Chain A
Amino acid sequence: MVKALRRRWSRWVHKRIPRSDTQRCVQRNIFILPTGAGVVFAFLLVIMLLTAINYQNSLIYLMTFLLGAVFVAAMHQTHRNLSGLELALIKAGEGFAGDDIPFTFRAAASDENAAAIQLSTTDRHLEHQNVLAGEPLDLVFLVKSTARGYLGMDQLRIETRFPFGLLSAWSWLRPVANGVVYPRPISPPDKGMSSTEGDDESEERSADGHDHAELRPWRTGDLSQRVLWKRYARSGDMIIAHWEGEQGSPQWLDYGAFPGVDQELRLSYLSAQVLEREKSGHPFGLRLPGQVIDPDGGAAHKVRCLRALALFGVPNPLNRVAA
């Protein structure tokens, strides 16, 4: 019975709050109820009213009405505190399994401050965030990861009890975007197992590193340091300089190099190897069944490889939108 009711409720909520990475809190998606303290307060008001009636005391009547009005006005205030708040998931983080994965949200208040906002999932809280009008605030919410693959956030509760804590107004953000969880790096027992080719040439090549830069248009995820600002000032186009620097002879990390090892463990080994190679600055490539990443170096390449490892054999989560 309770279960059925709960299911109905969540279906109704899901209909009201469709999955989206951004959410603007408005009348139709804000819920408001008194908190425990609010219920006690209402009870206290009833007691005060009874006291006023039984003692025929006008001033207690007056105080009861005043506090009751404050309570109702607080309902308005609490609602308005949340109303107009825009929360957008701007970056679903990436990280290793077992770590806390940062999800970065941008909160922007409308014309009024949104004070003391609390973000929470079933097991985590982020309290007392004040989003001031005209000053968007970036919030990092850590989500615990367990296994590699996509890490979704089912729903994030956006709540406020401001100003008196007697009422709680809340809404949910049900993000679409997923974080990516890399396999937990585990050093393989024997290092000799990965195939090495032409390891020795790498040092000479990196000496003349910065000579040719590849220019390409700006795209999401590019660091602002890499934008050619002078050029931007001239033409208004944002161009990224991609320095072909640390070129070494490629080294291949191969899924097939660990015969007989369980798939997850293999991926963990590869994960550790990717980190190790990237640290040492040697270019490397990654071979997975059905997928080959050509040798390269640098942070972006590392991320690309780790993502490939993370999502190896994982179905695309986009069908979640329908849920």
Chain B
Amino acid sequence: MKVKGHSVPTRALIWLIISFGILILPQFDRLPLWLTAVCVTLGGWRWLAQLGHLRLPGRLLRTAIMLATVALYVITVNGRFSVDTAASFFVLAAGLKWLETRASRDFYVLFFILTYLAAVNFLFQQGIGWTVVNLIGVVCLLIGLQVLNAPTLAGAIRASWKRLGMMTLKTLPIVVLLFVFFPRMAPLWSVPLVSDRGTTGISDTMTPGSISDLAQSSERAFRAAFGGAIPVHRDRYWRGLILDRFDGETWDQRDDAAFIRPGRVALDGGIGELESNQYDVLMDATNQYWAFALENSVAVSDNVRVGPGDLFRFKRPADTSVRYRMAVEPAGANLEGSTSLTDLDRRRYLQLPPTGNPRARALAEKMRQKTHGARELAQSILERFRFDEYFYTLRPPVMPENGIDNLLFDEKRGFCAHYASAAAFLLRAAGVPARVVVGYQGGEVVGKSEYVLVRQYDAHAWVEVWLSDAGWTRMDPTAAISPDRIESGLRDAMAEEGSFLANNWTSPQRYGDLAVVQWASLYLDRINYQWQRWVVGYQGQSQMDLMSRLPGGVGLRELGYFSAGLVGAALLIAGLFSLWQQHSGRSRDPYSRLIQRWHRLLERKGLGIEPGDTPEQLARRVGDEYPAAQKPAAAFARGLNNHYYGVSHKALRHARKQDLARMRRLLAVFRTALHQTDKRHQKPR
């Protein structure tokens, strides 16, 4: 009878294990392999123990396992602190807790850990599919809780689903209203980065060849929606960053961004109507500071700032997807366009390693003598690329030493990074300031010019050259060698070679000739885009934009009041409803209804009912007043007694209906008897 710290029922535990499995799914590509293995082992161990095939480890072994895994964790994390490492820790804690889920208390600890893990998962994955996966995980947790709390109830699982469904349905309007109206205030303080490893997309160094790794990836980089017409493919140069220092092999940035404490999470770009020269970029997480923008863009939303070289930067690495808004201004309106180059900058953009690539240097010198001015020089370099036998390939040969010489004179086969590097080298060697720009080029138009979808394989490198009359001017050697790449994209450029996504079997983009695959992949992306834009992207600025369409000045404070009022009103309505239900709802127990009717009858006849009266006492009193009604009253009272104090009901369940019918008849007989007595009493008077 005294059951404390009861064990966890199997039916509840299975839901917890399922939920654990579902909730680590969104983490699968981040978790260290050993951690996944540990979790699977420990979860399996717990399950086998529940089935009785294995015993749970004793305290000593448990401590040993805990120490070993925590040590492994500390080594893996190596002092880094981000949501990523914290999430791994959650997973580890949940995994270890499996060995200790003996009582329902432990069940709750796991419930809390897993619920928060589900929330953390949303920092990593915000697609509609992952959202559904995450919510299913949470639902499984809630089902498990219900089973845990009513382990002996028959049909508990089905009832749990139904109950949860009803609860969600009933509260959904409030949830939606809160989602829309809850004040989306600015971040209260800086929080750790979601992830500080595995930056994705373009890196801030370029060793010719490195971009070709990206060319094998069809991951999404960003999506851009335009207010006006979408620029044609060859004009879609998305500048990301400038590489200005060359050491003979690798291009990188001179002023390495020193460690900056990551600021608060940036607000979103807003959802107001796009003007014809504006565009919205919805960028996936890169864990980098830079934003991508078309040439001659200025920032519209305040989550990006312009930096040197007309590049745009976030205040905090894009650790989750971020949306920003830009506007294209007429050429020359940008900051650097027409100003002259300082001596410092001139030196910087002419920098070359003192030795190496002698043939290229000689060529540059020859070209400089042959041409007049920078523009002509650049032109002649492009002509050389265009008319000589240079090839654009995703399978460039390895050129370890004097790579530029090798490319220009021997191999003549390379990727955009090779040619950009070579062109910049030639320009600098000839005394013309030049720099390498990396970013993306092109992108696929989705739907009826709904947005441009830019993938990692659209990564590109080109050159900007300083012309004293026009400032920095784009010069893309790849366009000279493989116009297809610039006009219509990498897929067409590589059609002959057949190397497009050759190593990426799982990418739908690889199967470009299968229209259905293409259509399905793009359709999914469109759904996700709308999801990202309207649900995921509904943040501070978007909310304000939406609210500004309402009459009256609606600020965060008003929204706060409104939300509080909303919750209060909902609670009030729910409370009133339940009160009403209780007052209006008659008792469903047929016997108590019979008693109520009986009492009403008696009261009408002026027989007062005291709280402690038993049916038999009442019957006796009835008998005293109305002798004719005595018999049915007594029988009725006996029937009641029998019902309430007779043999346990289960034994008599089959007889219930008959019994109830008999009681009803008795009450009817009693009533007529009572009335007849009444009349007789009245006549003499």
Give Cα A57 to B578, complex, Å: 35
- Output the nearest chain A residue to B122 by Cβ-Cβ distance: A59
Q: Which residue in A53, A70, A90, A142 is a CB contact (below 8 Å) of B167?
A: A70
Residues from chain A with a CB closer than 8 A to the CB of B265 are: 54-56
Q: Considering the complex, which residues of chain A in the window 249-301 have a beta carbon less than 8 Å from any beta carbon of chain B?
A: none
Residues from chain B with a CB closer than 8 A to the CB of A91 are: 645
Give Cα A108 to B148, complex, Å: 23
The answer to whether B645 touches A220, judged by C-beta atoms less than 8 angstroms apart, is yes
Residues from chain B with a CB closer than 8 A to the CB of A106 are: 644, 649
Q: Which residue in A57, A69, A163, A220 is a CB contact (below 8 Å) of B150?
A: A163
Residue-wise, chain B 636-652 has the 8 Å CB interface mask toward A (1 for contact) of 00100100111111100
Is there a chain B Cβ closer than 8 Å to A111's Cβ?
Answer: yes
Residues from chain B with a CB closer than 8 A to the CB of A51 are: 119-120, 123, 191
The answer to whether B582 touches A59, judged by C-beta atoms less than 8 angstroms apart, is no
The answer to whether B588 touches A57, judged by C-beta atoms less than 8 angstroms apart, is no
* Range for the number of chain A residues in contact with chain B: 35 or more
A254 to chain B, nearest CB (A): 36
The answer to whether A90 touches B645, judged by C-beta atoms less than 8 angstroms apart, is yes
Which stretch (B57-65, B179-187, B377-385, B449-457) binds chain A?
Answer: B179-187
The answer to whether B538 touches A58, judged by C-beta atoms less than 8 angstroms apart, is yes
Is there a chain B Cβ closer than 8 Å to A162's Cβ?
Answer: yes
- Output the nearest chain B residue to A141 by Cβ-Cβ distance: B1
Q: Which residue in A41, A44, A73 is a CB contact (below 8 Å) of B170?
A: A73
Is there a chain A Cβ closer than 8 Å to B387's Cβ?
Answer: no
Is there a chain A Cβ closer than 8 Å to B22's Cβ?
Answer: no
Residues from chain A with a CB closer than 8 A to the CB of B157 are: none
The answer to whether A37 touches B1, judged by C-beta atoms less than 8 angstroms apart, is no
- At the interface, is chain A mostly helix, strand, loop or mixed? mixed
The answer to whether A58 touches B146, judged by C-beta atoms less than 8 angstroms apart, is no
Which stretch (B108-116, B243-251, B471-479) binds chain A?
Answer: B108-116
Residue-wise, chain A 163-179 has the 8 Å CB interface mask toward B (1 for contact) of 11100000000000000
Is there a chain B Cβ closer than 8 Å to A67's Cβ?
Answer: yes
Is there a chain B Cβ closer than 8 Å to A186's Cβ?
Answer: no
Q: Which residue in B163, B179, B574, B648 is a CB contact (below 8 Å) of A61?
A: B179
Is there a chain A Cβ closer than 8 Å to B2's Cβ?
Answer: yes
Is there a chain A Cβ closer than 8 Å to B676's Cβ?
Answer: no
The answer to whether B182 touches A61, judged by C-beta atoms less than 8 angstroms apart, is yes
Q: Considering the complex, which residues of chain A in the window 48-97 have a beta carbon less than 8 Å from any beta carbon of chain B?
A: 48, 50-67, 69-70, 72-74, 76-77, 79-80, 83-84, 86, 88, 90-91
Residue-wise, chain B 102-129 has the 8 Å CB interface mask toward A (1 for contact) of 0010001000100110111011001000
The answer to whether B653 touches A60, judged by C-beta atoms less than 8 angstroms apart, is no
Residues from chain B with a CB closer than 8 A to the CB of A57 are: 122-123, 126, 320
Residues from chain B with a CB closer than 8 A to the CB of A220 are: 641, 645
Interface centre among A59, A76, A116 (most CB of B within 10 A): A59
The answer to whether A163 touches B574, judged by C-beta atoms less than 8 angstroms apart, is no
Is there a chain A Cβ closer than 8 Å to B3's Cβ?
Answer: yes
Residue-wise, chain B 176-208 has the 8 Å CB interface mask toward A (1 for contact) of 001100101101111100100000000000000
* Tally of contacts, chain A with chain B, CB under 8 A: 197
The answer to whether A116 touches B123, judged by C-beta atoms less than 8 angstroms apart, is no
Known: A70-B142, A165-B149. A55 touches B645 (CB 8 A): no
Known: A53-B187, A54-B264, A58-B535. A66 touches B648 (CB 8 A): no
Known: A26-B582, A88-B644, A165-B148. A236 touches B635 (CB 8 A): yes
* Range for the number of chain B residues in contact with chain A: 35 or more
The answer to whether A65 touches B649, judged by C-beta atoms less than 8 angstroms apart, is no
Which stretch (A130-138, A146-154, A203-211, A307-315) binds chain B?
Answer: A130-138
Give Cα A72 to B535, complex, Å: 24
The answer to whether A126 touches B320, judged by C-beta atoms less than 8 angstroms apart, is no
The answer to whether A110 touches B149, judged by C-beta atoms less than 8 angstroms apart, is no
Give Cα A27 to B535, complex, Å: 40
- Output the nearest chain A residue to B146 by Cβ-Cβ distance: A163
The answer to whether B123 touches A56, judged by C-beta atoms less than 8 angstroms apart, is no
The answer to whether A135 touches B649, judged by C-beta atoms less than 8 angstroms apart, is yes
- Output the nearest chain B residue to A166 by Cβ-Cβ distance: B145
The answer to whether B539 touches A56, judged by C-beta atoms less than 8 angstroms apart, is yes
Known: A53-B185, A58-B538, A165-B148. A138 touches B649 (CB 8 A): yes
The answer to whether A69 touches B2, judged by C-beta atoms less than 8 angstroms apart, is no
Give Cα A92 to B171, complex, Å: 44
Is there a chain B Cβ closer than 8 Å to A7's Cβ?
Answer: no
- Output the nearest chain B residue to A43 by Cβ-Cβ distance: B112
Residues from chain A with a CB closer than 8 A to the CB of B538 are: 58
Is there a chain A Cβ closer than 8 Å to B536's Cβ?
Answer: yes
Known: A48-B119, A111-B585. A67 touches B138 (CB 8 A): yes
Q: Which residue in A41, A66, A77, A83 is a CB contact (below 8 Å) of B175?
A: A66
Residues from chain B with a CB closer than 8 A to the CB of A52 are: 119
Residues from chain B with a CB closer than 8 A to the CB of A55 are: 123, 187, 191, 194, 265, 320
B273 to chain A, nearest CB (A): 21
A178 to chain B, nearest CB (A): 15
Q: Considering the complex, which residues of chain B in the window 576-599 have a beta carbon less than 8 Å from any beta carbon of chain A?
A: 578-579, 582, 585, 587-589, 592
Residue-wise, chain A 102-113 has the 8 Å CB interface mask toward B (1 for contact) of 000010101101
Give Cα A132 to B540, complex, Å: 49
Is there a chain B Cβ closer than 8 Å to A218's Cβ?
Answer: yes
Residues from chain A with a CB closer than 8 A to the CB of B126 are: 57, 59
B417 to chain A, nearest CB (A): 35
Is there a chain A Cβ closer than 8 Å to B514's Cβ?
Answer: no
Listed by A's residue number, 9 A-B pairs whose Cβ atoms lie within 8 Å are A27-B582, A58-B536, A65-B178, A69-B168, A70-B171, A116-B153, A163-B146, A163-B149, A238-B638
Which A residues form the contact surface with B (CB < 8 A)?
20, 26-27, 37, 40-41, 44, 47-48, 50-67, 69-70, 72-74, 76-77, 79-80, 83-84, 86, 88, 90-91, 106, 108, 110-111, 113, 115-116, 124-128, 130, 133-138, 142, 161-165, 218, 220, 224, 236-238
